[in-house]
Structure 1
């Protein structure tokens, strides 16, 4: 891949001129394969989402890796943007043409590898077919994935050879380090003059953030008497089970947050709740709360609290500049403390956390 900015740090104009023309197979291909409903882009999460950057621009197909990218690119001319609209989950979403144009116009596209986001796969294929020089950065390259969970719908397909692997590796902070390394290598290729800064930022993030998150998660799970957690969420938390040894039971037995809940799913959740004397469950922040409310009505569960696989952001999270680290400490960790029985809700999280998140809408 050739460098995509000139020696003075300006972004390449080749792609921008092509896009502005609005003609050719590229525009037709995107219009045909990526038409879908969406809101506005969530690209302003880091405050650099305006047009007119002087340096290279990288766009990311998933919030977690946008966040890693912006931390690695700090103090360089590279701008990293999040393509997922605020309030939406990064898996099971179809963008409209405006999102696709941002990919074409970008100098690099940070993506999660094949078979996870169909719209990203189609965009990548179109870029290749039309010889667009957007650099591709695959965050999953070299990551050791685990087989699909037994709790999945048997018709479900994952990623990788044979489509039999679970893609949600970034929930394990140790595996997330490989994604940081992959993004770093991509940004070094994009802007080699800033290699030293990229690598220093990446090492600091892996050591000061991911290592600390891993240690703090480990302490939470080590302290737990309970070894089964019921989640009213999709099947995205197997890597928590793999890393920390606590069984995370999803309610939605497929990999996408948009999956339907079947009566058999509710029946199985009721069994798990009854057999394990579960009083609190986790509910997906960007998923319907209807099943969680049903379990409160029909079982001994008293309340649900938030969990997220770092796949999206709310408006207040954007306003507070939350990333992977802040979501871990303010959302997932307090909920795991509660659902594992380590702490009562009133003692988890910051002051007022329980009141804010108990049975949240």
Structure 2
């Protein structure tokens, strides 16, 4: 009976993935990794976006997406401050963003010492006694220790020195941020408390729980427990949650930094020892290190991964959020790099062609 239930669960998971992927089409064709300083997406749930109600601005795409889902059927407008095509960690905006925060009713942020520009904006609010409400999505989240692969020069975040800030990659920890955003939006729009709380419970159950289950299925089916990423050190929480070892090539917290020859050497050893044929590469990161591994090792191709820290133009046009990115980008890649599926057998039709060694 247990085996039957497992098969049924797996069928539901595959169906959900394909349903979400079916609308994706050939979305990646011709898109560059960084699309320039284009305006980020906005949403007001199911309202008309006229901004007659309160406005909340978010410093990071994932939490913008959570907030806009919670704001459905309320007058709350939610805006993403990070421009399309840019990674949310390491971006340095101009002064106009601080003005946007000052003019907003609430500022959704990731906690101190993760986005320096957000810290400066918060200090400005405090110094000038601006009454923009602050919503810290990281409050109450238990952070994991920094990975052993991390550059020793990096110490961690705020009062949590030595901790990894990328907690939202774990859907269970992401639930806590949803709760934090919910409390903030309830304070912002108390007349719509019931709707906000109902939306939050629905999102946690229907989206985050399902993503968690589907990720677990992917990693449970894998014989290999090592993933080589030509990407920065943002994926440890996937490893912590699902019992797999992430080997990032760029060993700092942000999507920047040089790749040392010793890092390439270690990656080559990992690839050979684990008979790795496919690796992951950050969507918003350089392709050069991945191409070097293609040229110098048995690796046949790289495919996309993202820590949900930014969006491409076509993702905005198709209204992709955390859920859609999980099912159309990260999950297919993890299926491939773990050896569960051939590239041609995952994702929406044409996925492998779109994303194999993408530019």
Q: Is the 8 A contact 1:49 1:81 kept in 2?
A: no
Which of the residues 232, 235, 238 maps onto 1:237?
Answer: 235
Q: Is the 8 A contact 1:281 1:304 kept in 2?
A: yes
Q: Is the 8 A contact 2:45 2:77 kept in 1?
A: no
Per-residue CA distance 1:32-64 (angstroms, 9 max, x = gap): xxxxxx724303367999985100000000000
> Shift of the alpha carbon at 1:326?
0.1
Which of the residues 153, 156, 160 maps onto 1:155?
Answer: 153
Q: Is the 8 A contact 1:305 1:357 kept in 2?
A: yes
TM-score (norm 2): 0.88
> Shift of the alpha carbon at 1:327?
0.2
> Shift of the alpha carbon at 1:271?
1.1
**Equivalent residue, structure 1, for 2:306:** 308
SS at match of 2:99: helix
**Equivalent residue, structure 2, for 1:208:** 206
**Equivalent residue, structure 1, for 2:285:** 287
Residue correspondence of structure 1 range 199-278 to structure 2 within 5 A: 199-278=197-276
**Equivalent residue, structure 1, for 2:180:** 182
Distance 2:358 2:74 in 1: 39
Distance 1:134 1:60 in 2: 12
Runs of 4+ in 1 over 3 A off after TM superposition: 43-52
> Shift of the alpha carbon at 1:299?
0.5
**Equivalent residue, structure 2, for 1:143:** 141
Which of the residues 59, 66, 80 maps onto 1:82?
Answer: 80
Distance 2:287 2:46 in 1: 33
Distance 1:178 1:117 in 2: 20
Distance 1:88 1:312 in 2: 6
Distance 2:198 2:351 in 1: 34
Distance 1:46 1:315 in 2: 19
Per-residue CA distance 1:286-317 (angstroms, 9 max, x = gap): 00111001100011000000000000000110
Per-residue CA distance 1:77-132 (angstroms, 9 max, x = gap): 00000001000000011001222211111000000001100000010011001000
Distance 1:151 1:50 in 2: 47
TM-score (norm 1): 0.87
SS at match of 2:56: strand
Structure 1 residues 281 and 46 mapped into 2: Cα distance closer, same or farther (>3 Å)?
farther
> Shift of the alpha carbon at 1:162?
5.2
Q: Which runs of 5+ in 1 are unaligned?
A: 1-37
Structure 1 residues 48 and 71 mapped into 2: Cα distance closer, same or farther (>3 Å)?
closer
SS at match of 1:332: helix
Structure 1 residues 231 and 45 mapped into 2: Cα distance closer, same or farther (>3 Å)?
farther
RMSD of Structure 2 on Structure 1 (CA): 1.6
Distance 2:202 2:160 in 1: 36
SS at match of 2:228: strand
Q: Which runs of 5+ in 2 are unaligned?
A: 1-35
Residue correspondence of structure 1 range 14-163 to structure 2 within 5 A: 39-44=37-42, 53-161=51-159, 163=161
Q: Is the 8 A contact 2:230 2:249 kept in 1?
A: yes
Distance 2:321 2:49 in 1: 22
